Copies of this chain bind each other. A is one copy, B any other.
């Protein structure tokens, strides 16, 4: 699976666990809500600065975010 999709799914997973809407997450992360929607749908090649903003708005660390089997494998084609 494409890295953008993996990241999008993981963000959505944490966001829904926090019972946040995309709009609420976008506000918290100081990022545009359309952008958040596109990231969650694997449509955005997000940069590390924006990724960090989103992840911290989800109240987790980068270490925890990537600590998943989804990010174990080699290069995704």
Tell me the number of copies of this protein: 2
Bound-state Cα–Cα, A67 to B51, Å: 16
- Chain B residues near A65: list those with CB within 8 A: 66
Q: Is the CB of B76 within 8 A of A72?
A: no
Instruction: Report the interface size class on chain A.
Output: 20 to 34
Closest residue to A49 on the B side, CB-wise? Answer: B45
| A49 CB contacts on chain B under 8 angstroms | 3-4, 45
Is A33 an interface residue when CB atoms closer than 8 A count as contact? no
**Does B48 lie within 8 Å of A45, measured CB to CB?**
yes
Asked whether, in the complex, the Cβ of B74 is within 8 Å of the Cβ of A66, the reply is: no
Q: Roughly how many angstroms separate A72 CA and B60 CA in the complex, as a whole number?
A: 9
- Is A61 touching B47 in the complex (CB atoms < 8 A)? no
